[in-house]
């Protein structure tokens, strides 16, 4: 009987990845079409910010994904410290590479949006500063992971867990301090956003998540192929 952990074995995993690849591509194309339709035709221009407002469909999902990925990395690092299974640390590293890109996209799109809205590309706001700290934490994690040649990746895992304190700070910074960045428009019970905008936002979030999953699966497949080659040569 095939157990759940059998699917982590390279042979099963690579087979499943190949099947998923085209499916994910199809979904992404569909979602992108829907987003473009909503943005260009359905949703009207913002009365204050005009077309600048459309950055929300890149900025907000990127921010959410960078936070989600860092939280996942912290959790995975905790599991790594307990179980010391090298695949776990490799997964965390791949997530870190995806996360740092989204974190950078968040900062850049935020700056581009901030210039016409606030008049500055950057302000030392609580939300912006903590987002920058998140980027630096990602960078520190990847650097420590890569510069240690041995298999054991304890040090980077400890850093990831230590840096997790930044996640609630980013989330609640707009409530704890007087910030220029606006507070949350979406919560569990209610939303101040118009319905088409909210739906488009969630569809773009789904698109970016599928994109991240695509990259993640590609990198994992690469990891297994390299692992198989190394094992072959050692034998």
Partner 1 sequence: MLIFFYILKKYFFFNYKKGHMTMNIFLYIILILLFGLIINISNISLDIKWGFLYIICFLIFLFSLENIYQLDNEDGTIDLLYITKNSLEFFIFIKSLIHWISYGFPLIIISPILMIFLKININNLMISSLYISTLSLSYLGILCCSLIIELNNKLFFIIIIIIPLYIPIIIYNSHIEYIYNIYSIYIYLIIIMYISTWLTSFIIKNNKKNL
Nearer to partner 1 (CB atom), residue 5 or residue 149: 149
Contact between 176 and partner 1 by CB under 8 A: the answer reads: no
Judged by CB under 8 A, which of 14, 133, 198, 209 binds partner 1? 133
Residue 136 · residue 107 · CB < 8 Å: no
Helices (H) and strands (E) in the chain, counts: 7, 0
Judged by CB under 8 A, which of 16, 25, 26, 162 binds partner 1? 162
Considering the complex, what minimum distance in angstroms separates the CB of residue 75 from partner 1?
18
Q: Rule CB under 8 A: which of 182-211 touch partner 1?
A: none
Judged by CB under 8 A, which of 36, 42, 152, 229 binds partner 1? 152
Q: Measure the CA–CA gap between 46 and 52, rounded to whole angstroms.
A: 8
The three-point CA angle 121-125-130 to 5° equals 105
DSSP letters spanning 99-138: HHHHHHHHHHHHHHHHHHHHS-S----HHHHHHHHHHHHH
Judged by CB under 8 A, which of 37, 148, 202, 218 binds partner 1? 148
Q: Which residues of 59-97 are buried (b: 16+ CB within 10 A; e: fewer)?
A: bbbbbbbbbbbbebbbebbbebbeeeeebbbbbbbbbbb
Window contacting partner 1 (CB under 8 A); options: 89-97, 103-111, 152-160, 208-216 = 152-160
Nearer to partner 1 (CB atom), residue 30 or residue 152: 152
Question: Residues in contact with partner 1, total (CB under 8 A)?
Answer: 21
Q: What are the residues binding partner 1 (CB under 8 A)?
A: 129, 133-134, 136-137, 139-140, 143-144, 147-148, 150, 152, 154-156, 158-159, 162-163, 166
């Amino acid at each position: 009987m095939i157990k759940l952990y059998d699917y982590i074995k390279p042979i099963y995993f690579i087979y499943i990845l190949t099947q998923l690849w085209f499916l994910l591509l199809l979904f992404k194309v569909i979602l992108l079409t829907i987003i473009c339709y909503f943005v260009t035709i359905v949703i009207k221009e913002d009365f204050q910010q005009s077309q600048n407002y459309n950055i929300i469909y890149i900025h907000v999902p990127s921010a959410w994904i960078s936070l989600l990925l860092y939280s996942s990395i912290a959790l995975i690092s905790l599991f790594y410290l307990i179980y010391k299974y090298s695949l776990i640390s490799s997964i965390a590293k791949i997530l870190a590479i995806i996360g740092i890109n989204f974190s950078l996209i968040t900062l850049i799109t935020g700056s581009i949006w901030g210039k016409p809205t606030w008049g500055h590309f950057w302000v030392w706001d609580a939300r912006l500063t903590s987002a920058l700290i998140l980027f630096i934490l990602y960078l520190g994690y990847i650097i420590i992971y890569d510069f240690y040649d041995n298999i054991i990746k304890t040090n980077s895992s400890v850093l990831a867990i230590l840096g997790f304190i930044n996640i609630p700070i980013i989330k609640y910074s707009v409530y704890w301090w007087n910030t220029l960045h606006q507070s949350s428009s979406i919560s569990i019970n209610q939303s101040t956003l118009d319905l088409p905008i909210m739906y488009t936002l969630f569809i773009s979030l789904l698109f970016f998540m599928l994109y991240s999953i695509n990259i993640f699966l590609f990198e994992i497949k690469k990891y297994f192929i390299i692992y198989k080659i190394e094992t072959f040569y050692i034998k």
